[in-house]
Chains A and B, each alone.
Chain A
Amino acid sequence: MQFKYKIAGGDFTNAGNASSAVKKILKQLNVDHTVSKHIVVALYEAEVNIVAHAYSGVIEVNIDKNQIHIILDDKGPGIADIDQAMEEGYSTASPQVREMGFGAGMGLANMKRNADKMLISSELGKGTKVELIHYLKPDEG
């Protein structure tokens, strides 16, 4: 199963709509509640990151019986130093993003904590790609 969502940079009114849709899908698929919560929390932080930092982005959610693989691909400024961006407390968020209750430098760390596997690649001036992988059967994953 595959689902795709388009995300507009700066559109805080709709930030979270994709994550909300995925949450409903996971509920319909009877995915374990704790696993589902980890997925949607990581996805929501990632979705907010696109809205906060990029010009536009696409979220692709691939679901099979063993794993949920989410790819967030954005067109934006990119991340200059991914290791630095991963440090808790480091943030380049605008005052507007902070007014929304984000921008404390916790997003990437929250995503990593909630995902079984997270991959980030970025090109300055072009954009960032984040992959979040959650195994549905952790013992076999």
Chain B
Amino acid sequence: MKTIKEIAEIIDGKVLCCHEKSDRHIEHAFASDLMSDVLTVEMDNLLLITGLANLQAIRTAEMSDISFIIFARNKKINSDIIALAEETGIMLIESPFSVFRISGELYKAGVKPVY
């Protein structure tokens, strides 16, 4: 099982906050830009891959007990988003890759899908 630090390297990712979680292992991931869809997932400690860079992505992760978010395609992550993630303890990573490529790389590395 890969750690989130190893996953960040695979996707050319830059960690924006909550470095203290770098050694945590990631078993499952889910990719969606639709937050209502994310809210249907029952599993905890997921990694979310999304192109939606706003406060609602963080709030959704908080309600769903998602601890890690990867933002695809170099989205502009403003300081409000990072501050809310720090407050709620959600690790944020930005990647230049597309949602499709991030998902493919992670799947190849052994990260499992939810469905």
Residues of B within 8 A of A (CB): 33-40, 42, 44, 52, 54-57, 59-60, 62-65, 80, 88
Query: Does A19 contact B37, Cβ atoms closer than 8 Å?
Result: no
Q: Which B residue's beta carbon lies closest to that of A51? A: B56
Please pick, from B33, B34, B65, B88, the residue contacting A37 in the complex, using a CB distance under 8 A: B65
Query: Does A15 contact B59, Cβ atoms closer than 8 Å?
Result: yes
Point out the residues of chain B lying under 8 angstroms from A45, CB to CB: 36, 39
Q: Which A residue's beta carbon lies closest to that of B51? A: A101
Query: Does A41 contact B35, Cβ atoms closer than 8 Å?
Result: no
Give 1 or 0 for each of A98-111: 1 = CB within 8 Å of chain B CB.
01111010110010
Query: Does A44 contact B57, Cβ atoms closer than 8 Å?
Result: no
- 24 pairs of residues in contact across A and B, judged by CB atoms under 8 Å: A12-B55, A12-B56, A13-B55, A16-B62, A20-B59, A40-B63, A45-B39, A48-B56, A99-B54, A101-B33, A101-B34, A101-B36, A101-B54, A101-B57, A101-B60, A102-B34, A102-B36, A104-B34, A104-B36, A106-B36, A106-B40, A107-B36, A110-B39, A110-B40
Query: Does A100 contact B39, Cβ atoms closer than 8 Å?
Result: no
- Mostly, the A contact residues are helix
How large, as a class, is the contact surface on chain A? 20 to 34
Q: Is A23 an interface residue (CB 8 A)?
A: yes
Query: Does A20 contact B88, Cβ atoms closer than 8 Å?
Result: yes
- Within the complex, the shortest CB–CB distance from B53 to chain A, in Å, comes to 10
- Which 9 pairs across A and B sit closest by C-beta, in order of nearness? A16-B59, A101-B35, A106-B36, A44-B63, A101-B52, A40-B63, A100-B56, A41-B39, A101-B56
